[in-house]
Structure 1
Amino acid sequence: MTPPAKRLWPDTVASRAILILVAALLAFHLLGYWAYRVGVENLATAGQDRGLAERIVSIKRAIASLPQAPERDRVAHDLSSASLEVHWSKVSLVLGSAPMTERTRAMEARLKQLAPELAAESFRVGFADDGALGAGEANAYKHVMLVSVRLDDGSWVNFSSSALGASQHLDWGLTAIMICFAVAIVVVALLLLRWATRPLRDLAIAAERFSLDQTPQPLPEHGPVEVRRAARAFNTMRERIRHLVAERTQAMAAVSHDLRTPITRLRLRSEFLDDDATRVLIDADLSEMEAMIDSTLDYLRGGTSSEPMRPVDLASVIETIVDEHADQGHRVSLVGLSSAPVRGGVLSLKRAASNIIGNAVKYGQAAKVTIAEAGDSFAVVVEDEGPGIAPADRERVFHPFVRLEESRGRQTGGSGLGLTIALAIARSHDGSIVLENRAEGGLRVTLSLPKLSASGRDELPLA
């Protein structure tokens, strides 16, 4: 870790946010100064254009006041300058057949705005590179603006200038440049904010991926002071949770072991009873007690298991469970895919599927199991013929020890942990369980698990 004295960047979220804001404001101030300078230059150029437009009007008046052609031509040459070349001629320098372009129309409107007197005169505007002057590719006026003003006797005063109209598109260019600068500032600010808040995103991702059945990887403790403290607290909290769950599971395992001893003694003593009916009832109660202990231990583990995660053929697991129920005389059927490779624990997945299918057989009298693809997942759909579950109870039924009296009565047995354990196992495998009532009656339970990647299929043989 870099010592605080050697840090070049601020060390807190607040100071980094302030730095980003100051940098953005500084950039905007520099942009505003640049825009001001360009605006001043634009005003200066506009003034120059107005001066040239006024010169066109004054030169036209001066030449029109001369009666002789040689004098007109001489005065036109004398009044020429570096920025405005003037010629007097019997013909217009701008061809009357020259095509009108958007640039030509804009320049004509600009001249009328700068020199209102021209609005009442007959004049032509064109650009040499737009074909306004038919003198071939090598003429001297190429890439300049041409203006021809007709005098009362039908002759023309022709002007050519490369300065007039040079800034006619400057406003659009300035707008485009300002937009580009604004976009660049926003992009830079976003990148800086993403860099500053990356440790927070890592913390959020680590919290979302937290699972008790995986070896925890400590969250890197870097970034600003607040983020480092949060990461350190998260790592500590995760270890405390793991220790708490482990201690609770060990305590329950010890209690279950202690309970199994008297249960075993009671089972042995029941064998000496002469009343067969009483013995059967006692054995059933003892079996239910053992099942409740096992279910409670599975619930306390939160879906975790010590078995390794490896490629598993979910279809084979489901087929085994269906065959077991069929051998017991239950109405169970299986259709759909014959292979559904996923990654997980065989025993855990078998426990989750057994709970779902067992519920369908116990409370719905029958179970139709379908294995199908659902995008990037495999879906195991279990449909029964029972009364279903009310919409208000579909979330509550996943809570531990919840039993719905209408369809989950005490006479059916169970501890109210079947769906709770199944959901915990599904979530530990990045899957989900969805409950919905069928239109024709009964409950539909959908267990979804992500497909095994192509690389994972070759990792180990499928179970």
Structure 2
Amino acid sequence: MRLPLPSPSLRSQLLLIAVGGFVVGHMLNMILASGLRHMHGGNHLLTPVSVLIFVALLAAVAWLSARVTRPLQRLTESADKFSGMEPLQPLEPEGPPDMRRAIEAFNGLSRRISDLLDEKDQMLGALGHDLRTPLASMKIRAASMRPVDERAALFSTVDGMERMIEDILTLARTGRSAEPLARVDVRALVSGVVDEFRAQGAAVEQEPGEAIVWPLRPELLGRALGNLIDNAVRYAGGARLGVAVEGKTLLIRVKDDGPGLPADQLEHVLRPFARLDQSRNRGTGGAGLGLAIAVSIARLHGGTVELENRAEGGLSATLRLTEGLPG
């Protein structure tokens, strides 16, 4: 069994080259000194030659390292910052020819990705408009339908389609939201969402605690929380919310006392259109986009959504948001 070995960094490789060159140079120096001893007698260690070889190699490695690693570091930082919300500023090509070509290729790639995302947003806007128009026409036509129970069923179907379209558009546009960051009292934000559910008769509670101010996109985060709470109310009959801070991470937990989920489904249900109930009836769970939207909003905040079965029973959904936000 072969154990995977860590790949050395570029600087380490260059340093190894310098050390290897010094060793080879020193061996040649010793061979030359040995030959001179046999020819002329005495000691000719030529130590200054070894030192000069080492210094020259070290200087060459330092120059080459700076020439290669500085643009490589800028390229890596630029790639890490790319969130898709805004186009990247082109990097100035520098360094060796291969590095310049890599930077130019990266600039072209980021430009093409931004163009594709802009095209996607325009297409979604047109698609949403084109779909809503015939649905509105269907509602007008259905208003005069008889009997009444068939008319109500058609209205319910149209409403479900409208909500599904809205969910799909929200999921697709979340990563390019124009909502700015704001420092928000998280407990007050959670309290507002909880009050909306309680006004509808849902059994939703919030655990007490001190105020926590955090940089967020409040409208989007409220949507994510609403989806998590709605999921708990739908399948478990209620929810309890808690807010805490661990280091530089904000934790918002939505806990319920329901049946929980099979362990092999905890990650599956976070994917778009994934549902344990395979039907598409809005009354039994909708299109399976609520958790996926929450995941996308959490990712926009540099965070995640984690599901786990509680030891005492029920499910815990945790919004885990880091303090250093992307984009």
TM > 0.5 = yes
Tell me if 1:432 matches 2:304: yes
* Structure-2 separation of matches of 1:223 and 1:187: 17
Amino acid of the residue matched to residue 261 of structure 1? T
Contact 1:377 1:449 in 2 (8 A): yes
* Structure-1 separation of matches of 2:72 and 2:102: 9
* Structure-2 separation of matches of 1:410 and 1:446: 24
Partner of 1:268: 140
Q: How does 1:51-450 map to 2 (within 5 A)?
A: 193=65, 196-405=68-277, 411-450=283-322
* Structure-2 separation of matches of 1:194 and 1:354: 50
* Structure-1 separation of matches of 2:275 and 2:18: 61
* Distance of aligned partners of 1:355 and 1:28 in 2 relative to their CA distance in 1, 3 Å threshold: same
Task: Please report the TM-score for the alignment, with normalisation by the length of structure 2.
Answer: 0.78
Offset of residue 407 of structure 1:
11
Offset of residue 190 of structure 1:
7.8
* Distance of aligned partners of 1:278 and 1:240 in 2 relative to their CA distance in 1, 3 Å threshold: same
Offset of residue 206 of structure 1:
2.4
- Relative to its length, the structure with more helix (as a share) is 2
* Distance of aligned partners of 1:255 and 1:396 in 2 relative to their CA distance in 1, 3 Å threshold: same
Amino acid of the residue matched to residue 150 of structure 2? T
Task: Please report the TM-score for the alignment, with normalisation by the length of structure 1.
Answer: 0.57
Contact 1:430 1:449 in 2 (8 A): yes
Partner of 1:27: 22
Amino acid of the residue matched to residue 126 of structure 2? A
Contact 1:302 1:425 in 2 (8 A): yes
* Structure-2 separation of matches of 1:364 and 1:187: 68
Contact 1:299 1:420 in 2 (8 A): yes
* Structure-1 separation of matches of 2:103 and 2:232: 44
Offset of residue 371 of structure 1:
0.6
Question: Percent same amino acid among aligned pairs?
Answer: 36
* Distance of aligned partners of 1:409 and 1:285 in 2 relative to their CA distance in 1, 3 Å threshold: closer
Question: How far does the alpha carbon of each residue in 1:427-456 deviate from its partner, in whole angstroms, 9 at most, with x for none?
Answer: 111111111111122211110123489xxx
Question: How far does the alpha carbon of each residue in 1:192-213 deviate from its partner, in whole angstroms, 9 at most, with x for none?
Answer: 5465233333323322332112
Offset of residue 31 of structure 1:
4.7
Larger radius of gyration: 1
* Structure-1 separation of matches of 2:310 and 2:279: 15
**Partner SS state of residue 183, structure 2:** strand
Q: Greater RCO between the two (CA within 8 Å, min separation 6)? A: 2
* Distance of aligned partners of 1:382 and 1:302 in 2 relative to their CA distance in 1, 3 Å threshold: same
Partner of 1:48: none
Contact 1:342 1:450 in 2 (8 A): no
CA RMSD, Structure 1 to Structure 2 (Å): 3.7
* Structure-1 separation of matches of 2:278 and 2:259: 8
Offset of residue 304 of structure 1:
2.3
Question: How far does the alpha carbon of each residue in 1:9-33 deviate from its partner, in whole angstroms, 9 at most, with x for none?
Answer: xxxxxxx999877654443355557
* Distance of aligned partners of 1:413 and 1:434 in 2 relative to their CA distance in 1, 3 Å threshold: closer
272-281 or 307-316, larger mean C-alpha shift? 272-281
* Distance of aligned partners of 1:194 and 1:436 in 2 relative to their CA distance in 1, 3 Å threshold: farther
Contact 1:394 1:435 in 2 (8 A): yes
Contact 1:343 1:452 in 2 (8 A): no
Amino acid of the residue matched to residue 218 of structure 1? P
Q: Please, which runs of 5 or more residues in structure 1 have no aligned partner? A: 1-15, 40-173, 454-463
* Structure-2 separation of matches of 1:404 and 1:236: 42
* Distance of aligned partners of 1:408 and 1:326 in 2 relative to their CA distance in 1, 3 Å threshold: farther
Question: How far does the alpha carbon of each residue in 1:79-106 deviate from its partner, in whole angstroms, 9 at most, with x for none?
Answer: xxxxxxxxxxxxxxxxxxxxxxxxxxxx
Offset of residue 401 of structure 1:
1.3
Offset of residue 300 of structure 1:
1.7
* Distance of aligned partners of 1:187 and 1:418 in 2 relative to their CA distance in 1, 3 Å threshold: farther
**Partner SS state of residue 301, structure 1:** helix
* Structure-1 separation of matches of 2:13 and 2:195: 67
Offset of residue 408 of structure 1:
9.1
Q: How does 1:36-47 map to 2 (within 5 A)?
A: none
* Distance of aligned partners of 1:407 and 1:286 in 2 relative to their CA distance in 1, 3 Å threshold: closer
Offset of residue 189 of structure 1:
5.4
**Partner SS state of residue 245, structure 2:** strand
Q: Please, which runs of 5 or more residues in structure 2 have no aligned partner? A: 1-10, 35-46
* Distance of aligned partners of 1:323 and 1:17 in 2 relative to their CA distance in 1, 3 Å threshold: closer
* Structure-1 separation of matches of 2:266 and 2:200: 29
**Partner SS state of residue 420, structure 1:** helix
